[in-house]
Structure 1
Amino acid sequence: MDIREYIESGILELYVYGLLSESENEEVSQLAKQHSEINDEIVSIEKSIVNISTSFSPFLSAENFAKIKNKLEIKHSKVIELKPKNNRLQYLGWAASAVLFIGAGYQYYNQMQFKDDFLNLQNEKSKLQEVVVSSENKTKQTLHDLNVIRDTKNTVITLGGQAAAPKSSAKIYWNKETEVVYVDASGLPEPPEGMVYQVWSLVLSPSLTPTSIGLLADFSKDNNRIFPVSNTGNAEAFGITLEPAGGSATPTMEQLYTLGKV
């Protein structure tokens, strides 16, 4: 900790004036015990306040005044009445103290305001960085999806809507050399809560044999809705059904949304 910077911050004046919270008072007290420079500064501030008060408003109590008057009466038969001291200097002393209080308080307020502004600026910077990172990730994902669609080595299979969702559609991009398969699900509606789309690779002969090749999870989070799925093997057709979350062992034909032959 920079002791000089801490001393010049104005917090020690507020400590002496009793304007800090209990926790802040405790913090200053602990630092004063640990650092002699801080303790010396506190003592110096206290002495300055005492000097200001005594120089502007010397105090004479009623008890002391009575003692002095009694001694004068013993020594002299005639006592000269003392007139009350003009309070003008006393008022000036209080005014000087008030100005000192206000100045220290204003300095403290400015420091707190600067701290708040700095924290707000840091928060805005963090939010901006998050936006930039998110934007970069979305851009990379979009470029990747475009490369998938534009790959001339892909076999493109169009899946048409079925009885469960006649207006639905989808496309399969199947690169038989790399055995990479992607599903363009932009033609499918948002799945209901607790449901998920499941993609099936179908062998039609000698008997219909469906094999699950993936779930279209996080459907709403992917704006492009292009999903990678598993290798299809010797698929003769593809279908997409709506299944309970987690998928099913076999397709629910009543929820067959799209279907298409290779």
Structure 2
Amino acid sequence: MDIKAYIESGILELYVAGQLSENENQEVYELLRQHPELLQEVLEIEAAVLKLTAAASPGAHSFEAIKANLKDANNPKVVKLAPRKTNWLAYTGWAASIALAAGFFWTLNQKNDLEQQLQTADIENRYLETQIETAKSDLATTKNLLDILRDRDIISVPLGGQGNYASSFAKVYWNKSDNTIYLDAEGLPDAPEGKVWQVWSLTLNPLTPTSLGTIDDFNSDTNKIFTMANANESQAFGITLEPEGGSESPTMEQLYTLGVVEVNPS
């Protein structure tokens, strides 16, 4: 882009005066953001407009000149004021400067409003893009989960409520081919402050619990489906409520759900 030729074209003066269309204003605005030389030129034009406006305003000297022709206090003689010609050229220049300054301020406001609108639109677009990406990700995750749960070889283990927690329930989907379980814990309440849910793999004879880990983000998770590694030869699964950080062995008084893996006859 020929910066010098663009400056000499006069379009920046029209931009400052607010004489361009909305599309032209936007084009100039984008060029100002890209080329510091053009922005500096606009700033100099605006400064010149303000200086011209101040210089063209009728000054106090006009009043002093009139007052000097009034009658002197020590001389009661009335002095006639000579008729003066109106300097229409000066007033025309002054009016033009005022109009130019007004156009400048209007354009400045328009630029600020446009910039704010563009920023708002940009934020809204980014938010919408994020929402779309999140929806796509959630959809892909859901589809993948459904494919897993519908696998004919996956083992489904219902976990029923125990003792005082009979209303609790959960379900484990165990994929032995990749040593993974998918825990649907929708039937558990939020963990109290200072507590976490801990998942256990159990062998029954003798009864041997092995921790599969704690669910630290249970309360903040929306779908309550969690993935855990399980390389154990599990015969049952249980969930207990434990102190933050988990326990080495399950607190049986806080055993909420328990389910036995059904053995398929060979």
Q: TM-score, normalised by structure 2?
A: 0.69
Name the CA distance, whole Å, in 2 between partners of 1:148 and 1:232: 18
The CA distance in 2 between the partners of 1:199 and 1:243, in whole Å, is: 10
Gap runs ≥5 in structure 2: 19-34, 69-78, 262-266
RMSD, matched Cα: 4.2
Identity %: 37
SS in 2 for 1:131: helix
The whole-number CA distance in structure 1 between the counterparts of 2:219 and 2:142 is 15
**Closer, same or farther in 2 for the Cα pair 1:105/1:42, shift >3 Å?**
closer
Query: Shift of the alpha carbon at 1:61?
Result: 8.8
The 5-angstrom pairing of residues 1-262 of structure 1 reads 4=6, 8=12, 38=41, 42=45, 45=48, 49=52, 53=56, 83-87=82-86, 89=88, 92-205=92-205, 207-262=206-261
User: Are residues 87 and 200 of structure 1, via their aligned partners in 2, closer, same or farther at CA, if it must alter by over 3 Å?
Assistant: same
Q: CA deviation at 1:152?
A: 0.9
In 2, Cα distance between equivalents of 1:60 and 1:181: 93
CA positional deviation for 1:131: 0.5
Amino acid in structure 2 at the alignment position of 1:168 = S
Q: Distance in 1 between matches of 2:92 and 2:14?
A: 24
Q: Provide, for residues 111-145 of structure 1, a one-character-per-residue CA deviation record: whole Å limited to 9, x for no partner.
A: 22111111111111111111111111211221122
String of CA shifts for 1:64-108, please: whole Å, max 9, x gaps: x98xxxxxxxxxxxxx96614245736555433322221121122
Gap change, CA 1:61 and 1:156, over 3 Å in 2: closer
Stretches of structure 1 lacking an aligned partner (at least 5 in a row): 15-30, 67-79
Tell me whether 5-14 or 95-104 shows the greater mean CA deviation: 5-14
Q: Which amino acid in structure 2 is aligned with residue 133 of structure 1?
A: E
Report the count of equivalent residues.
228
AA at the equivalent of 1:199: V
Which has the higher mean CA deviation after the structures are superposed, 167-176 or 85-94? 85-94
List per-residue Cα deviations over 1:172-200 (Å, max 9, x = no partner). 21223332222121222222233221111
Name the SS for the 2:223 alignment partner. Answer: coil
* d(CA) in 2 for partners of 1:158, 1:44: 78
Task: Tell whether the 8 Å contact from 1:7 to 1:38 is kept in structure 2 after alignment.
Answer: no
